[in-house]
Amino acid sequence: MADGVASYGLVEDAAIAVSSGRIQWIGPHRDLPPDHADWPIIDFADRLITPGLIDPHTHAIFGGNRAVEFEMRLNGATYEEIARAGGGILSTVTATRAASMQDLIQEALPRIDALLAEGVTCIELKSGYGLDQDTELRMLRAAREIAKQRPVRVQTSFLGAHAVPPEFTGRADAYIDTVCIPTLRAAHAEGLVDAVDGFCEGIAFDTTQIARVFDAARDLGLPVKLHAEQLSNLGGARLAASYGALSADHVEYVDAAGVAAMTEAGTTAVLLPGAFYTLRETQVPPIDLFRKAGVPMALATDCNPGSSPLTSLLLAMNMGCTLFGMTPAEALAGVTRNAARALGLADAGSIAPGQRADLAVWDVSHPAELVYRIGFNPLHARIFGGEV
Protein backbone atom coordinates (compact mmCIF):
# COMPACT_ATOMS: atom_id res chain seq x y z
CA MET A 1 0.00 0.00 0.00
CA ALA A 2 1.02 3.62 -0.57
CA ASP A 3 2.03 6.12 2.10
CA GLY A 4 -0.54 7.68 4.39
CA VAL A 5 -2.41 4.53 5.37
CA ALA A 6 -1.67 4.50 9.09
CA SER A 7 -4.99 6.19 9.96
CA TYR A 8 -6.85 3.27 8.41
CA GLY A 9 -5.33 0.66 10.75
CA LEU A 10 -4.20 -1.50 7.84
CA VAL A 11 -2.45 -4.85 8.22
CA GLU A 12 -0.05 -5.48 5.34
CA ASP A 13 0.15 -8.93 3.70
CA ALA A 14 -2.68 -9.99 5.97
CA ALA A 15 -4.40 -13.31 6.53
CA ILE A 16 -7.92 -13.63 7.92
CA ALA A 17 -8.97 -16.98 9.35
CA VAL A 18 -12.72 -17.61 9.12
CA SER A 19 -14.81 -20.46 10.52
CA SER A 20 -18.59 -20.87 10.97
CA GLY A 21 -19.21 -17.39 9.62
CA ARG A 22 -16.97 -15.69 12.18
CA ILE A 23 -13.47 -14.26 12.08
CA GLN A 24 -11.15 -16.43 14.16
CA TRP A 25 -7.84 -14.63 13.63
CA ILE A 26 -6.29 -11.74 11.68
CA GLY A 27 -2.68 -10.69 11.32
CA PRO A 28 0.32 -10.74 9.00
CA HIS A 29 0.38 -13.95 6.96
CA ARG A 30 3.80 -14.84 8.31
CA ASP A 31 2.30 -15.00 11.83
CA LEU A 32 -0.54 -17.36 10.92
CA PRO A 33 -0.98 -19.80 13.84
CA PRO A 34 -0.08 -23.43 13.05
CA ASP A 35 -3.62 -24.66 13.71
CA HIS A 36 -4.85 -22.47 10.84
CA ALA A 37 -2.00 -23.20 8.43
CA ASP A 38 -3.68 -26.12 6.65
CA TRP A 39 -7.10 -24.45 6.25
CA PRO A 40 -8.40 -23.94 2.66
CA ILE A 41 -7.06 -20.66 1.26
CA ILE A 42 -8.66 -18.03 -0.96
CA ASP A 43 -5.92 -15.74 -2.25
CA PHE A 44 -7.10 -12.19 -3.00
CA ALA A 45 -3.56 -11.14 -4.00
CA ASP A 46 -2.71 -7.49 -3.24
CA ARG A 47 -6.28 -6.31 -2.90
CA LEU A 48 -7.76 -4.27 -0.06
CA ILE A 49 -10.12 -6.07 2.31
CA THR A 50 -12.45 -4.00 4.48
CA PRO A 51 -15.40 -4.86 6.67
CA GLY A 52 -18.55 -5.25 4.63
CA LEU A 53 -20.14 -1.84 4.22
CA ILE A 54 -23.16 -0.92 6.37
CA ASP A 55 -25.93 1.46 5.31
CA PRO A 56 -27.43 2.57 8.66
CA HIS A 57 -30.28 4.79 7.42
CA THR A 58 -32.59 3.93 4.52
CA HIS A 59 -36.24 4.15 3.56
CA ALA A 60 -35.75 1.67 0.71
CA ILE A 61 -39.17 0.02 1.04
CA PHE A 62 -41.91 2.12 -0.57
CA GLY A 63 -44.44 2.15 -3.36
CA GLY A 64 -44.17 4.20 -6.55
CA ASN A 65 -41.67 6.97 -7.17
CA ARG A 66 -41.57 10.76 -7.31
CA ALA A 67 -39.64 11.42 -10.51
CA VAL A 68 -42.41 13.68 -11.83
CA GLU A 69 -42.16 15.80 -8.69
CA PHE A 70 -38.42 16.06 -9.22
CA GLU A 71 -39.11 17.44 -12.69
CA MET A 72 -41.76 19.81 -11.29
CA ARG A 73 -39.27 21.23 -8.80
CA LEU A 74 -36.73 21.79 -11.54
CA ASN A 75 -39.41 23.65 -13.48
CA GLY A 76 -40.01 25.97 -10.55
CA ALA A 77 -42.87 24.37 -8.60
CA THR A 78 -42.79 24.95 -4.84
CA TYR A 79 -43.21 22.25 -2.21
CA GLU A 80 -46.69 23.61 -1.45
CA GLU A 81 -47.70 23.48 -5.11
CA ILE A 82 -46.49 19.90 -5.40
CA ALA A 83 -48.36 18.95 -2.22
CA ARG A 84 -51.58 20.54 -3.51
CA ALA A 85 -51.17 18.48 -6.69
CA GLY A 86 -51.16 15.32 -4.57
CA GLY A 87 -47.38 15.00 -4.32
CA GLY A 88 -44.88 14.95 -1.50
CA ILE A 89 -44.62 12.26 1.15
CA LEU A 90 -48.36 11.68 1.04
CA SER A 91 -48.12 10.52 -2.58
CA THR A 92 -45.70 7.85 -1.41
CA VAL A 93 -48.08 6.97 1.43
CA THR A 94 -50.91 6.50 -1.08
CA ALA A 95 -48.78 4.29 -3.33
CA THR A 96 -47.39 2.28 -0.42
CA ARG A 97 -50.81 1.67 1.10
CA ALA A 98 -51.99 0.34 -2.26
CA ALA A 99 -49.05 -2.08 -2.60
CA SER A 100 -49.09 -5.69 -1.46
CA MET A 101 -46.18 -7.06 0.54
CA GLN A 102 -44.93 -8.82 -2.58
CA ASP A 103 -45.18 -5.55 -4.52
CA LEU A 104 -43.10 -3.79 -1.87
CA ILE A 105 -40.47 -6.53 -1.92
CA GLN A 106 -40.18 -6.58 -5.70
CA GLU A 107 -39.89 -2.80 -5.89
CA ALA A 108 -37.27 -2.71 -3.13
CA LEU A 109 -35.04 -5.54 -4.37
CA PRO A 110 -33.39 -3.57 -7.23
CA ARG A 111 -32.46 -0.88 -4.71
CA ILE A 112 -31.11 -3.48 -2.29
CA ASP A 113 -29.20 -5.22 -5.09
CA ALA A 114 -27.53 -1.94 -6.08
CA LEU A 115 -26.23 -1.55 -2.54
CA LEU A 116 -25.08 -5.16 -2.30
CA ALA A 117 -23.17 -4.74 -5.57
CA GLU A 118 -21.06 -2.08 -3.82
CA GLY A 119 -20.05 -4.32 -0.92
CA VAL A 120 -22.92 -3.61 1.50
CA THR A 121 -23.55 -6.53 3.85
CA CYS A 122 -25.89 -4.86 6.34
CA ILE A 123 -28.73 -2.41 5.74
CA GLU A 124 -31.26 -0.65 7.91
CA LEU A 125 -34.83 -0.58 6.56
CA LYS A 126 -37.51 1.70 8.00
CA SER A 127 -41.26 1.70 7.93
CA GLY A 128 -42.95 5.12 7.81
CA TYR A 129 -44.77 5.29 4.49
CA GLY A 130 -47.88 3.51 5.70
CA LEU A 131 -48.95 5.65 8.65
CA ASP A 132 -51.67 3.14 9.42
CA GLN A 133 -51.30 -0.15 11.25
CA ASP A 134 -51.83 -2.52 8.33
CA THR A 135 -49.32 -0.83 6.01
CA GLU A 136 -46.67 -0.19 8.66
CA LEU A 137 -46.74 -3.88 9.61
CA ARG A 138 -46.67 -4.87 5.93
CA MET A 139 -43.53 -2.77 5.36
CA LEU A 140 -41.77 -4.35 8.32
CA ARG A 141 -42.74 -7.84 7.21
CA ALA A 142 -41.36 -7.03 3.77
CA ALA A 143 -38.07 -5.96 5.39
CA ARG A 144 -37.81 -9.27 7.23
CA GLU A 145 -38.55 -11.15 4.00
CA ILE A 146 -35.83 -9.28 2.10
CA ALA A 147 -33.29 -10.71 4.56
CA LYS A 148 -34.47 -14.18 3.50
CA GLN A 149 -34.31 -13.46 -0.23
CA ARG A 150 -30.88 -11.80 -0.30
CA PRO A 151 -27.58 -12.47 1.52
CA VAL A 152 -27.75 -9.31 3.62
CA ARG A 153 -28.28 -8.52 7.27
CA VAL A 154 -31.38 -6.36 7.77
CA GLN A 155 -32.04 -4.15 10.80
CA THR A 156 -35.56 -2.77 10.99
CA SER A 157 -36.67 0.56 12.42
CA PHE A 158 -40.28 1.42 13.19
CA LEU A 159 -40.89 4.96 11.88
CA GLY A 160 -44.57 5.41 12.56
CA ALA A 161 -43.81 8.98 13.70
CA HIS A 162 -42.70 10.02 10.21
CA ALA A 163 -45.55 12.31 9.15
CA VAL A 164 -49.15 13.05 9.99
CA PRO A 165 -51.38 11.12 7.57
CA PRO A 166 -54.13 13.02 5.73
CA GLU A 167 -56.92 11.50 7.78
CA PHE A 168 -55.31 13.03 10.91
CA THR A 169 -54.56 16.50 9.51
CA GLY A 170 -54.41 18.92 12.44
CA ARG A 171 -54.60 16.04 14.94
CA ALA A 172 -51.01 14.92 15.34
CA ASP A 173 -51.45 14.03 19.02
CA ALA A 174 -54.40 11.80 18.21
CA TYR A 175 -52.36 10.04 15.52
CA ILE A 176 -49.48 9.37 17.95
CA ASP A 177 -51.79 7.99 20.64
CA THR A 178 -54.31 6.02 18.57
CA VAL A 179 -52.24 4.78 15.63
CA CYS A 180 -48.48 5.16 16.04
CA ILE A 181 -47.98 3.76 19.55
CA PRO A 182 -50.50 0.90 19.21
CA THR A 183 -48.89 -0.06 15.90
CA LEU A 184 -45.45 -0.05 17.52
CA ARG A 185 -46.72 -2.45 20.18
CA ALA A 186 -48.27 -4.71 17.55
CA ALA A 187 -45.06 -4.72 15.49
CA HIS A 188 -42.96 -5.53 18.54
CA ALA A 189 -45.28 -8.38 19.50
CA GLU A 190 -44.71 -9.84 16.03
CA GLY A 191 -40.92 -9.55 16.33
CA LEU A 192 -40.67 -7.00 13.52
CA VAL A 193 -38.83 -4.14 15.26
CA ASP A 194 -35.13 -3.74 16.06
CA ALA A 195 -35.27 0.00 16.86
CA VAL A 196 -37.72 2.91 16.96
CA ASP A 197 -37.26 6.10 14.93
CA GLY A 198 -39.10 9.40 14.56
CA PHE A 199 -38.99 12.66 12.63
CA CYS A 200 -38.64 15.65 14.95
CA GLU A 201 -39.22 18.72 12.79
CA GLY A 202 -41.69 21.54 12.26
CA ILE A 203 -43.26 19.66 9.35
CA ALA A 204 -43.56 16.45 11.39
CA PHE A 205 -43.62 16.01 15.21
CA ASP A 206 -42.37 18.04 18.15
CA THR A 207 -40.24 16.80 21.03
CA THR A 208 -43.21 16.18 23.32
CA GLN A 209 -44.88 13.94 20.76
CA ILE A 210 -41.65 12.08 19.99
CA ALA A 211 -41.03 11.60 23.72
CA ARG A 212 -44.32 9.71 24.02
CA VAL A 213 -43.21 7.36 21.25
CA PHE A 214 -39.82 6.92 22.90
CA ASP A 215 -41.47 6.19 26.25
CA ALA A 216 -43.39 3.39 24.57
CA ALA A 217 -40.18 2.11 22.98
CA ARG A 218 -38.42 2.13 26.35
CA ASP A 219 -41.30 0.19 27.91
CA LEU A 220 -40.80 -2.45 25.20
CA GLY A 221 -37.02 -2.55 25.70
CA LEU A 222 -36.31 -1.16 22.23
CA PRO A 223 -33.47 1.26 21.37
CA VAL A 224 -34.30 4.57 19.71
CA LYS A 225 -32.90 6.86 17.06
CA LEU A 226 -34.16 10.14 15.62
CA HIS A 227 -34.31 12.29 12.51
CA ALA A 228 -33.16 15.47 14.24
CA GLU A 229 -32.17 19.02 13.35
CA GLN A 230 -32.40 18.53 9.57
CA LEU A 231 -34.21 21.77 8.74
CA SER A 232 -34.21 23.59 12.07
CA ASN A 233 -33.21 23.11 15.71
CA LEU A 234 -36.07 21.87 17.87
CA GLY A 235 -33.81 20.17 20.41
CA GLY A 236 -34.27 16.74 18.86
CA ALA A 237 -30.66 15.67 19.35
CA ARG A 238 -30.82 16.51 23.05
CA LEU A 239 -34.10 14.62 23.35
CA ALA A 240 -32.63 11.60 21.58
CA ALA A 241 -29.55 11.67 23.78
CA SER A 242 -31.71 11.84 26.92
CA TYR A 243 -33.10 8.44 25.90
CA GLY A 244 -29.62 7.04 25.18
CA ALA A 245 -30.35 7.00 21.45
CA LEU A 246 -28.22 4.93 19.14
CA SER A 247 -28.09 7.82 16.69
CA ALA A 248 -29.30 11.27 15.77
CA ASP A 249 -29.59 11.54 11.98
CA HIS A 250 -29.20 14.51 9.59
CA VAL A 251 -28.20 16.96 12.41
CA GLU A 252 -27.30 19.84 10.09
CA TYR A 253 -28.70 22.36 12.60
CA VAL A 254 -27.55 20.73 15.84
CA ASP A 255 -25.96 23.18 18.30
CA ALA A 256 -23.18 22.83 20.86
CA ALA A 257 -25.63 21.78 23.59
CA GLY A 258 -27.00 19.03 21.34
CA VAL A 259 -23.51 17.82 20.50
CA ALA A 260 -22.52 17.79 24.17
CA ALA A 261 -25.61 15.71 24.97
CA MET A 262 -24.75 13.28 22.18
CA THR A 263 -21.21 12.95 23.50
CA GLU A 264 -22.40 12.18 27.03
CA ALA A 265 -24.93 9.61 25.77
CA GLY A 266 -22.60 7.97 23.24
CA THR A 267 -25.04 8.80 20.45
CA THR A 268 -23.70 8.51 16.90
CA ALA A 269 -24.27 11.26 14.32
CA VAL A 270 -25.57 9.73 11.09
CA LEU A 271 -24.82 12.12 8.23
CA LEU A 272 -26.98 12.02 5.10
CA PRO A 273 -25.36 13.98 2.27
CA GLY A 274 -27.75 12.58 -0.34
CA ALA A 275 -30.65 14.56 1.13
CA PHE A 276 -28.44 17.62 1.57
CA TYR A 277 -27.52 17.40 -2.12
CA THR A 278 -31.00 16.66 -3.47
CA LEU A 279 -32.68 19.42 -1.46
CA ARG A 280 -29.83 21.83 -2.27
CA GLU A 281 -29.38 22.66 1.39
CA THR A 282 -26.69 25.05 2.58
CA GLN A 283 -26.41 24.28 6.31
CA VAL A 284 -23.54 21.79 6.71
CA PRO A 285 -23.40 19.49 9.78
CA PRO A 286 -20.86 20.71 12.38
CA ILE A 287 -18.14 18.21 11.47
CA ASP A 288 -15.38 19.97 13.45
CA LEU A 289 -17.62 20.14 16.51
CA PHE A 290 -18.33 16.41 16.26
CA ARG A 291 -14.60 15.71 15.95
CA LYS A 292 -13.66 17.82 18.95
CA ALA A 293 -16.46 16.37 21.05
CA GLY A 294 -15.63 12.79 20.09
CA VAL A 295 -19.03 12.10 18.52
CA PRO A 296 -18.74 9.13 16.11
CA MET A 297 -19.86 10.02 12.59
CA ALA A 298 -21.62 7.50 10.36
CA LEU A 299 -22.68 7.92 6.74
CA ALA A 300 -25.77 6.54 4.99
CA THR A 301 -27.62 6.83 1.70
CA ASP A 302 -30.99 7.84 3.21
CA CYS A 303 -32.40 6.00 0.19
CA ASN A 304 -35.96 7.30 -0.20
CA PRO A 305 -38.29 8.37 -3.03
CA GLY A 306 -38.32 12.08 -2.28
CA SER A 307 -35.29 13.76 -0.76
CA SER A 308 -32.56 11.16 -1.44
CA PRO A 309 -33.21 8.67 -4.27
CA LEU A 310 -29.68 7.40 -3.74
CA THR A 311 -28.62 3.75 -3.90
CA SER A 312 -24.83 4.16 -3.84
CA LEU A 313 -23.04 4.12 -0.50
CA LEU A 314 -19.76 4.78 -2.31
CA LEU A 315 -21.23 8.01 -3.66
CA ALA A 316 -22.49 8.90 -0.18
CA MET A 317 -18.89 8.50 1.03
CA ASN A 318 -17.65 10.85 -1.69
CA MET A 319 -20.38 13.35 -0.82
CA GLY A 320 -19.46 13.15 2.85
CA CYS A 321 -15.97 14.32 1.94
CA THR A 322 -16.70 16.81 -0.85
CA LEU A 323 -19.83 18.39 0.66
CA PHE A 324 -19.25 18.01 4.41
CA GLY A 325 -15.44 18.04 4.68
CA MET A 326 -14.95 14.57 6.14
CA THR A 327 -11.64 12.83 5.53
CA PRO A 328 -11.53 9.60 3.50
CA ALA A 329 -10.62 7.70 6.68
CA GLU A 330 -13.64 9.19 8.45
CA ALA A 331 -15.86 8.27 5.50
CA LEU A 332 -14.69 4.65 5.55
CA ALA A 333 -15.21 4.47 9.32
CA GLY A 334 -18.61 6.04 8.72
CA VAL A 335 -19.85 3.09 6.66
CA THR A 336 -18.18 0.39 8.77
CA ARG A 337 -17.31 0.83 12.45
CA ASN A 338 -19.49 3.88 13.16
CA ALA A 339 -22.37 2.63 11.03
CA ALA A 340 -22.40 -0.51 13.19
CA ARG A 341 -22.52 1.68 16.31
CA ALA A 342 -25.47 3.58 14.85
CA LEU A 343 -27.35 0.29 14.61
CA GLY A 344 -26.23 -1.05 17.97
CA LEU A 345 -24.29 -3.93 16.38
CA ALA A 346 -21.30 -5.13 18.37
CA ASP A 347 -20.34 -7.91 15.96
CA ALA A 348 -20.00 -5.93 12.73
CA GLY A 349 -18.10 -3.03 11.21
CA SER A 350 -14.54 -4.18 11.94
CA ILE A 351 -12.21 -7.05 11.16
CA ALA A 352 -11.38 -8.71 14.46
CA PRO A 353 -11.74 -12.12 16.13
CA GLY A 354 -15.34 -12.85 17.01
CA GLN A 355 -16.77 -10.48 14.43
CA ARG A 356 -19.06 -11.68 11.65
CA ALA A 357 -17.12 -12.59 8.52
CA ASP A 358 -18.87 -9.93 6.43
CA LEU A 359 -16.18 -8.46 4.22
CA ALA A 360 -15.60 -6.54 1.00
CA VAL A 361 -12.62 -7.07 -1.30
CA TRP A 362 -11.61 -4.14 -3.48
CA ASP A 363 -9.48 -3.63 -6.60
CA VAL A 364 -7.73 -0.56 -5.20
CA SER A 365 -4.21 0.31 -4.13
CA HIS A 366 -5.22 2.78 -1.38
CA PRO A 367 -8.34 3.04 0.79
CA ALA A 368 -8.92 6.64 -0.32
CA GLU A 369 -9.79 5.34 -3.79
CA LEU A 370 -13.11 4.12 -2.39
CA VAL A 371 -14.02 7.75 -1.72
CA TYR A 372 -12.13 9.50 -4.51
CA ARG A 373 -13.83 8.00 -7.56
CA ILE A 374 -17.30 9.07 -8.71
CA GLY A 375 -19.59 6.58 -10.42
CA PHE A 376 -17.01 3.78 -10.31
CA ASN A 377 -17.37 0.52 -8.40
CA PRO A 378 -14.06 -1.24 -7.61
CA LEU A 379 -15.63 -4.16 -5.72
CA HIS A 380 -13.87 -7.45 -6.49
CA ALA A 381 -15.78 -9.74 -4.12
CA ARG A 382 -18.36 -9.55 -1.36
CA ILE A 383 -18.18 -12.01 1.54
CA PHE A 384 -21.25 -12.59 3.71
CA GLY A 385 -21.06 -14.88 6.68
CA GLY A 386 -17.76 -16.25 5.38
CA GLU A 387 -19.23 -17.13 1.96
CA VAL A 388 -17.91 -15.40 -1.16
Q: Is 63 annotated as a binding residue?
A: no
Tell whether residue 250 is among the known ligand binding residues. Answer: no
Asked if residue 373 belongs to a known ligand binding site, the reply is no
320 annotated to bind ligand? no
- State yes or no: 243 annotated in a binding site: no
Residue 29 assigned to a binding site: no
Say if residue 188 carries a ligand binding annotation: no
The verdict on whether residue 366 carries a ligand-binding annotation is: no
Looking at this protein, which amino acid is placed at residue 380? H
230 appears as a binding residue in the annotation? yes
Is 76 within any annotated ligand binding site? no
Consult the annotation and say whether 162 binds a ligand. Answer: yes
Residue set of the binding site for Zn(2+): 57, 59, 227, 302
Residue set of the binding site for N-formimidoyl-L-glutamate: 129, 304, 306
Binding residues for Fe(3+): 57, 59, 227, 302
Binding site: which residues? 57, 59, 66, 129, 162, 227, 230, 302, 304, 306-307
Binding-site positions for 4-imidazolone-5-propanoate: 66, 129, 162, 230, 307
